[in-house]
Amino acid sequence: MIIGSMIDMTVQFGASDKVDPMLKDVNKMAGDSIINYKTVASFGQTEEFIKTFAAALAGPTKKKVRMSSL
């Protein structure tokens, strides 16, 4: 059981190392839009931002799903 736990922990930490840099950019984009929500709304870019945000999350989500199925 100890060996299995160690292998699982190694896989989990390895997965987060690959996905975390991608999520950093997505989090920055979300933070900027929340701070500047009036500007985003005044230019009518809310829907465009949602599409961009969803597209930016697609890569990390796909990697996390793939890593969780190992």
DSSP string, 6-60: HHHHHHHHHHHHHHHHHHHHHHHHHHHHHHTHHHHHHTT-HHHHHHHHHHHHHHH
Q: What's the pTM?
A: 0.59
20 pLDDT above the threshold of 80 = no
pLDDT digits (tens, 9 = 90+) for 22-67: 788 888 888 888 898 898 889 998 899 899 989 988 887 887 777 6
Query: How many domains does the chain contain in total?
Result: 1
pLDDT of residue 51: 92
In this structure, what token pair is assigned to residue 59? 């890569």
| Residue ranges making up the domain that contains 21 | 2-68
